[in-house]
Structure 1
Amino acid sequence: MDSINAKYVSQKISKTRWRPVSSASLQQPEFFATGSWDNEENKVSLWTIGDHGVINMDDDFEGDPQLLCDIKHSGDVLDLQFLDSDRLVTASSSGAVTIYRHHPNSQTLSVAHQWDRAHHYPCDNAPCTGVVCNSPEVVSVGEDGRIILFRADQTGVLRIIENADSSTIHAVTFLRTAEVLTVNSIGQLKLWDLRQQSNEPAQILSLTGDRVPLHCLDRHPNQQHIVATGGQDGMLCIWDVRQGNMPFSLMEAHSAEMWEVHFHPSNPDHLFTCSEDGSLLHWETSSSSDTPSFLQGGRNTSMVSRSAIAPAGGNQSIISAWLSGDSGKGQLETTHMLPSQTLSVNSLDVLSQCLVCGTDGEAVYVSRQVPV
C-alpha cells in the first residue's frame, strides 16, 4: 500500500494499539504503544508519529515513528489495551495483569499497579491471554479458564469467575457496559453478564463441525449484536448474538491463523484482519458496489461467503451490510495492505485514517492514509 512506513524495532511485536484521542476533536492519533514477545527482554514501548513526520508534495507520509519511552515487561506481552490517555494495561504470559502510567513531562513509563499471578494453575503460572478496559474496569481472561474483573482504582479483585471455561480463553471484549464476550480454543463464543452472580454464561454460540480454536473477536461499534471473530483456520466469522447459536456467515480470509480482527471504530463498514500468513486485509462492505466481489491481489484469491442462518423476521429495513448475506453480489471487497510479507502479522489497530500493525519480522508498519 502507498504511504505505509516500516520501522524496524529489533524486537518481535505482539501487540500494537493507538492511544485514544477525544471523539470531539478532529485530530489524528499521534501516539501508539507496542508490546513485544519471544525476546530476551520484552518491553512495552510508546511511540509518536507526531511532529517527526512530514507530508510531502504528494501527500505521502514521510518519517519513521519515534520512540518516546519504554519499560521492561516480565514475560511476553499477550495483550495490550489503553485504559485512558495516560494508562495502559498488559496481559502477560507470566499470568500478571499490569497497569502502566505514562508521564509526559519526563517521557517515562512506570508501573502503576500489578496483579501478579492473576491467572495461575495450582502449581504454576497460567498465561493471561487477553484484557479489555472500560475505565475504570478491567477484565482479564487466561489459559486457566478464569475471567477476572478488576477496578483500576482498587488493589483488590472485584470478581473471579472460576472455571468459566474448561479450555483456554483466547480473547475478551465488552459487548455492553456489564456484558463481556469471550472466545475459546474449542470454537465457542460466550456471553457473560457480570451483573449476575452465576458462574455460567448467559449465552453460548459455537462453530459447527470441527471445533476450530477462535483467537480474536471484535464487536460492531454501533450495532452491538454484530460480532466478528477469527481463528486457527483463517476464516472470518460474522455472528448475530440476538439469534441462533451459529455464525451468520463464514468467509475465507487467510491461509493461516487469524490473530486479530477490528471494525473501524467510526466507520464500521470497514474491517481489518491480520494473520500468521503475513497478510493484513482491509474488508469493505458496500450495498451499491459495481466492482467485483473480493477485489484484491496477492495470495488469497479464493474467497467464499456462505450464510449460516437466515435473517431474523420482522422489520429488516435497517440491516447491517455485514448481515446482508449477499457478499457474492459485489458487496464485499478485500484489499491487501502490506507489501509481500513472510512472517506473522500479530496485531493491528486502526483509528481515524491511521493504521498500525506489528510483526514477527521485528517491524512496525504505520499508514496515515487508510481509505475509510
Structure 2
Amino acid sequence: MESTNAKYVSQKISKTRWRPVSSSALQQPHIFATGSWDNEDNKISIWSIGDHGLPGMEDELEGDPQLLCEYRHDGDVLDLQFLDQDRIVTASSTGAVTIFHHHQNSQTISVARQWARAHRNPCDNAPCTGVVCNSPEIVTVGEDGRIILFRADQEGAVRIIENADSNSIHAVTFLRTTEILTVNSIGQLKLWDFRQQSSSPSQILSLTGDRVPLHCVARHPNQQHIVATGGQDGMLCVWDVRQGNTPFSLIEAHSAEMWEVHFHPTNPDHLFTCSEDGSLLHWETASHSDMPSFLQGGRNNSMISRSAMAPAGGNQSLISAWLAGDSGKGRLETTHMLPSQTLSVNSLDVLGQCLVCGTDEEAIFVNRQVPV
C-alpha cells in the first residue's frame, strides 16, 4: 500500500501504542511508543511521524517514523499502555511493572515508579502478561494467575487477587470503571468487579469444545457488553457478556495465533487484528443501508441488531453491527493492511486515521490514511 511507511529498527517489536490525543482537538496522532522483545537489550522507544518542528528532521520523508528517545527495558516488553500524555506503563517478562515518564521538552525518558516483582511464582518471577490503565489506576495480570490493582501515585498495590486463575492470564481490559475482563490459556473470559471483596469472578464465559488459549481481548468503545477476542487458533470471537456464556459469533480470521484485536476507538464498526501469520487485517461492516446518515453514526455502518440498541439518551452509537449474528458475516469486508506478508505482526494500534504496527521482521509500519 502506497500510504504505508516502513521503518526498519533492528529490534523485534512486541508492542506499539499511539500517545492519546485530546478528544476535543481534531488533530491526528503523531507520537507513538514501541517496546521490543527477544533482543539482547530491550528498549521502550518514542517515535514521531512528520517533522513537527523537531530539529534535524526537515529532510526526512513525511510520515517516516523518527526516533525521539529510548530507554533500556529489563526483560521483554509484554505489554505497553499510555497512562496519560507523559507516562507509559510496561509489563515485563521479569514480572515487573514500570511507569516511564516521557519528558517532552528534553525528549528523554526516566523511570517514575517500578513494582519490581509484581508477578511471581514461589521460586521465581512470573511474566507480567498484560496491563490496562484508567488513570490513575493500573491493572496488571500475569502467568502467575494474579490480578493486581495499582494506583500511579501509591507505592504499594491497592488490591491483589492472589489466586484469580489457576491458569496463565494473557490479557486484561476495563469493561467499566470498576469492572475488568481477563482472558486465559484455556479459552475462558472472566469478569471481575472490584467493588466486591470476593476473589472469585462475577461471570465466566468460555469457548465450547477445545480449550483454545485466548491471547487478546478488546472492548467495544461505546457498548461495554460487546467484546472481541482472538487466540491460538486465529479465530475472531465476538461476545455479548449480557447474554449466554459462549461467543455470539466466530469468524475465521487468521491461519495462526492472533496477537491483538482492536476496535476503532471512534468508529467501532471498524476492527483490526494482527497475527503470527504475518498479516494485519481491517474488518469493516459493509454499509448497504438506506438509513439517514445521522442514524448511521459513521461512514460505514451496517445491519440493525435490535438487541444491541443503545439506551435512549445515551451518547452511544445507536447500532452495533457486531451482534448481527450469522447474517452479518457475509457483510464483513476484510482488507489486508500491509503491502506483503511479513514475519509475525505482534502488535497494532489505531487512532483517528492513523495505524501503527510492529513485527518480528524488526520493522514498524505506519499508515496515515486508514479508511474509517
Q: Report the Cα offset of residue 148 of structure 1.
A: 0.1
In structure 2, give the amino acid aligned to 1:239: W
Distance 1:311-1:210 versus aligned 2 partners, 3 A rule: farther
Which position in structure 1 is the counterpart of 2:120?
A: 120
In structure 1, give the amino acid aligned to 2:114: Q
In structure 1, give the amino acid aligned to 2:271: L
Which position in structure 2 is the counterpart of 1:10?
A: 10
Q: Report the Cα offset of residue 62 of structure 1.
A: 3.6
SS in 1 for 2:33: strand
Q: TM-score, normalised by structure 1?
A: 0.89
Q: Tell me, yes or no, if the aligned pair for 1:192 and 1:202 is still in contact at 8 Å.
A: yes
In structure 1, give the amino acid aligned to 2:70: D
Q: Report the Cα offset of residue 320 of structure 1.
A: 1.2
Distance 1:75-1:220 versus aligned 2 partners, 3 A rule: same
SS in 1 for 2:371: coil
SS in 2 for 1:124: coil
1:65-214 → structure 2 map (5 Å cutoff): 65-214=65-214
The percentage of aligned residue pairs carrying the same residue is 82
CA distance in 1, matches of 2:71, 2:329: 49
Distance 1:338-1:258 versus aligned 2 partners, 3 A rule: same
Which position in structure 1 is the counterpart of 2:340?
A: 340
In structure 1, give the amino acid aligned to 2:145: G
Which position in structure 2 is the counterpart of 1:351?
A: 351
Which position in structure 1 is the counterpart of 2:265?
A: 265
Structure 2: tracts of 5 or more residues without a match: 54-60, 291-304, 313-317
Q: Report the Cα offset of residue 316 of structure 1.
A: 11
CA distance in 1, matches of 2:76, 2:111: 16
CA distance in 1, matches of 2:73, 2:152: 19
Distance 1:313-1:65 versus aligned 2 partners, 3 A rule: closer
Distance 1:285-1:4 versus aligned 2 partners, 3 A rule: same
Q: Tell me, yes or no, if the aligned pair for 1:243 and 1:312 is still in contact at 8 Å.
A: no
Q: TM-score, normalised by structure 2?
A: 0.89
Q: Report the Cα offset of residue 313 of structure 1.
A: 10
Compute the RMSD of aligned alpha carbons.
2.0
Q: Report the Cα offset of residue 341 of structure 1.
A: 1.9
CA distance in 2, matches of 1:110, 1:313: 45
SS in 1 for 2:322: helix
Q: Tell me, yes or no, if the aligned pair for 1:180 and 1:191 is still in contact at 8 Å.
A: yes
Q: Report the Cα offset of residue 224 of structure 1.
A: 0.7
What CA deviation, in whole Å up to 9, does each residue of 1:182-223 have, x standing for no partner?
A: 000000011000111000000000000000000000000011
SS in 1 for 2:145: coil
1:199-348 → structure 2 map (5 Å cutoff): 199-288=199-288, 319-327=319-327, 330-348=330-348
Q: Tell me, yes or no, if the aligned pair for 1:311 and 1:323 is still in contact at 8 Å.
A: no
In structure 2, give the amino acid aligned to 1:101: H
SS in 2 for 1:322: helix
CA distance in 2, matches of 1:19, 1:314: 31
CA distance in 2, matches of 1:84, 1:124: 32
Q: Tell me, yes or no, if the aligned pair for 1:52 and 1:63 is still in contact at 8 Å.
A: no
Q: Report the Cα offset of residue 328 of structure 1.
A: 5.4
Q: Tell me, yes or no, if the aligned pair for 2:132 and 2:173 is still in contact at 8 Å.
A: yes
Q: Tell me, yes or no, if the aligned pair for 1:188 and 1:206 is still in contact at 8 Å.
A: yes
May I ask how many residue pairs the two structures share in their alignment?
346
Q: Tell me, yes or no, if the aligned pair for 2:192 and 2:201 is still in contact at 8 Å.
A: yes
In structure 1, give the amino acid aligned to 2:31: F
CA distance in 2, matches of 1:361, 1:50: 23
Structure 1 residue runs of 4+, over 3 Å off?
A: 310-319, 326-330
CA distance in 2, matches of 1:80, 1:323: 30
Q: Report the Cα offset of residue 36 of structure 1.
A: 0.1
SS in 2 for 1:242: coil
SS in 2 for 1:125: coil
Q: Report the Cα offset of residue 104 of structure 1.
A: 1.2
Q: Report the Cα offset of residue 323 of structure 1.
A: 0.3
Q: Report the Cα offset of residue 106 of structure 1.
A: 1.2
